[in-house]
Amino acid sequence: MKRPTMKDVAQAAGVSLMTVSRVVSQTPGVSPDTAAKVEQAVRRLGYQRNDNARNLRQKRLGTSAIGLVVDDLANPFYALMARSIEDEAHRRGYVVLVGSTNDEPRRERDVIAAFTARQVDGLIMVPTIGSHGFLRTALEAGTQVVCVDRPAKDLDVDTVTVDNRDGARRAVTHLLGHGHTRIAYLGDRHNIWTQSERYAGYQDALAAHGLPTDPALVRHGLRSPVDTRLALAALGALPEPPTALFSSNDLITQGVLDGMEDDGGPRSTGRPAPMAVVGFDDLPLAKRLDPPLTVVSQDPVAIGSTAANLLFTRIAGDRSAPRNVVLLTRFVERRSGERPAPAP
Amino acid sequence: MKRPTMKDVAQAAGVSLMTVSRVVSQTPGVSPDTAAKVEQAVRRLGYQRNDNARNLRQKRLGTSAIGLVVDDLANPFYALMARSIEDEAHRRGYVVLVGSTNDEPRRERDVIAAFTARQVDGLIMVPTIGSHGFLRTALEAGTQVVCVDRPAKDLDVDTVTVDNRDGARRAVTHLLGHGHTRIAYLGDRHNIWTQSERYAGYQDALAAHGLPTDPALVRHGLRSPVDTRLALAALGALPEPPTALFSSNDLITQGVLDGMEDDGGPRSTGRPAPMAVVGFDDLPLAKRLDPPLTVVSQDPVAIGSTAANLLFTRIAGDRSAPRNVVLLTRFVERRSGERPAPAP
DNA sequence: ATGAAAGCGCTAACAG
DNA sequence: CTGTTAGCGCTTTCAT
């Protein structure tokens, strides 16, 4: 009923505990005969080594566990990233502990504390806006850390991000190229790094065309589809409504699409949407929409594997200066950005 | 540079190691004065308790870790489920180890072995088609197990599934109700439990309308969008092609939508799809398609939290007979299933 | 090739 | 209230 230990196996096989240890951990120096005896006892008792106890004693190899801390594991972007990290970890014989912060610094701290208390060898994290001073101890103790998706302001560690600003700039430039001059910006909280970067890209593009940023056309802090629909309605009620729109993440894009449907009244399905739109982040059925949705897309799998590789290099002993890897976005031109600006 | 231990803290605070243990683990029976001294030393050294060592000694409370083993963490369905399980775990102070099996029994075994070797208190798993005898040992040792999404044939444990058969039946009945008699079935490998259940539901519906199952209209084993497009093309080339189609999972539905676009030639965007279709699993933008996609939807969040609750009840000591929870699907009627059957 | 002893970091069970 | 002794399950080190 109880979990057998090496002692039990030793007794069953008529050898010393140490011999069992050698066999179970594949250490050379055991005669084939005794090894066979031990292996049989192992099978008979259904013995499995307790790796926690093992790691306690033998800290040379660490715990072969890493922690992954993301905003929200249910977000397809992070889910893809997580899978790719998990694959890399699995290949190397590591397990991964996973936790969502929900963008709450408090929860982030709890999750990370729970992970480091279990002696993870490394941490891949999507940092919240909070402070990360509490990580200094872990860092000094040798826990390797890599930030993904956004940098942690107060943490000098390897970081993997994409060029959000450039991506947004290209998106808005595309809209500009189709004659739009009143382009709305719909974004999540501005204090999220990716969002402020994308907003900067939006402004870059306007400025490059000699256009000012009209505060009436920019809406930050959209956290849900509902927020977005409200913002959209407000935009539509403006004396001079925008003719195009840049949406700063997938959730907002969803809200935009839903909101536009409302404008059409009953049976508006299939009617052209009233504005040109380009969104940050691709959506699974984007190309099947009417019109097909033009987006700036990131590659979460590449981001994840890059981060994992950095982390495992660190775990393997690399102590060089922190690296900052910036991946590029891909501009996927479909048709939703091509709707021409109406004549003035 | 090294990680401080209780011994270090004890020395720094001028007390015994045991006193530190009491303070750190909030055990009553320490004078406020000494507690303060200890706490200060803890802060000064940046001490954090090693929970692995702790769990080794104090096994009364287990390790407060559970394992989650899914097919593919990147699949939005499992990602949502994982998040919901993680939330339940977090609420209770548990961490979660996560692993994808990729539907390979070999990898499933590896992942589970790695988890049990680390003494997880419980396991929530989406079982592969493989055998699960290797779990017997863990079960006897007291590891609690809950199956999700599909049952493990050779494992008598709590299981949470949805009524796949009923869901499929309703979907196909809907198609039948619109006059279709040649309804195709597109599914993944038939030996996956959910798939055979859905196929059974498809047959149920046909039988209830006195219709035979035409083998030419059923395609199993579709593992990718490419497979699906091929199957779709073959179906279209039939002497008597189907007029409607039931797709047995979200991936296949994607392939179907893409495949239909091809049929239309260049610039077919927005053209009505040639067949009525209903799919199992909802898709994020399903309602924005033209026509909006009718689906059978499951609630991964509910599935996850149900499984988590079962697991934690077991971990808390419940030893009653294994439960089998079957959740219902929701039929989301939009328009893609309403395309009428053409006159003969 | 095998085993005995010590100890990883912590807590249970007793002392004082 | 505080400290001492043992020992969780395993590996290291050193004998034999």
Q: Which of B52, B63, B47 is nearest to B6 (CA)?
A: B47
Mean pLDDT of A319-333: 97
Confirm whether any atom of chain C, the nucleic acid strand, is less than 7 Å from CB of B56: yes
As a whole number of angstroms, the distance between CA B224 and CA B231 comes to: 11
The nucleotide whose C1' lies nearest the CA of A60 is D11
By the CB < 8 Å criterion, does A56 face chain B?
yes
pLDDT single digits (tens) B92-144? 999 999 999 999 999 999 999 999 999 999 999 999 999 999 999 999 999 99
Confirm whether any atom of chain C, the nucleic acid strand, is less than 7 Å from CB of A34: yes
pLDDT confidence of residue B331 = 98
Helix (H, G, I), strand (E, B) or coil at A96: strand
Footprint of strand D on the protein (CB under 7 A): A 3, 5-7, 17-18, 21, 24-25, 49-50, 53-54, 56-58, 60; B 15-19, 22, 29-31, 33-35, 53, 56-57, 59
**How many beta carbons lie within 10 A of that of residue A190, not counting itself?**
14
By the CB < 8 Å criterion, does A49 face chain B?
yes
Whole-number Å distance, CA A6 to C1' C6?
A: 18
CB nearest to B46's CB, from A75, A137, A284: A137
pLDDT confidence of residue A261 = 64
pLDDT band at A263, cuts 50/70/90? very low
**How many beta carbons lie within 10 A of that of residue A256, not counting itself?**
26
The distance from CA A241 to its chain's CA centroid, rounded to whole angstroms, is 35
Confirm whether any atom of chain C, the nucleic acid strand, is less than 7 Å from CB of B59: no
Which residue in chain A is spatially nearest to B70 when comparing CA positions?
A: A83
Q: Note the strand D nucleotides within 7 A of protein beta carbons.
A: 1-5, 7-13
Q: Which residues of B touch A138 (CB under 8 A)?
A: 48
pLDDT band at A343, cuts 50/70/90? low
pLDDT band at A60, cuts 50/70/90? confident
Which residue in chain A is spatially nearest to B67 when comparing CA positions?
A: A97
pLDDT single digits (tens) A166-186? 999 999 999 999 999 999 999
pLDDT confidence of residue A271 = 35
Helix (H, G, I), strand (E, B) or coil at B51: helix
Those residues whose C-beta lies under 8 Å from the C-beta of residue B159, and which sit 6 or more positions away, are B146, B147, B148, B151, B152, B322, B323, B324, B325
Q: Which of B102, B70, B293 is nearest to A284 (CA)?
A: B293
As a whole number of angstroms, the distance between CA B262 and CA A288 comes to: 12
Confirm whether any atom of chain C, the nucleic acid strand, is less than 7 Å from CB of B52: no
Q: What are phi and psi of A180, to 5 degrees?
A: -75, 140
Asked if A118 and B110 come within 8 Å (Cβ–Cβ), the reply is: no
As a whole number of angstroms, the distance between CA A93 and CA A87 comes to: 10
As a whole number of angstroms, the distance between CA B38 and CA B29 comes to: 14
Q: Note the strand C nucleotides within 7 A of protein beta carbons.
A: 1-5, 7-13
pLDDT single digits (tens) B303-338? 999 999 999 999 999 999 999 999 999 999 999 998
Q: Which residues of chain B have pLDDT under 70?
A: 261-273, 341, 343-344
CA torsion angle B5 B6 B8 B12 (round to 10): 150
As a whole number of angstroms, the distance between CA A170 and CA A187 comes to: 16
Asked if B257 and A288 come within 8 Å (Cβ–Cβ), the reply is: yes
Shortest Cα–Cα distance, B237 to chain A (Å): 24
pLDDT confidence of residue B268 = 38
Whether the CB-CB separation of B94 and B64 falls below 8 Å is answered with yes
* Residue entry with tokens 């008699």: B181
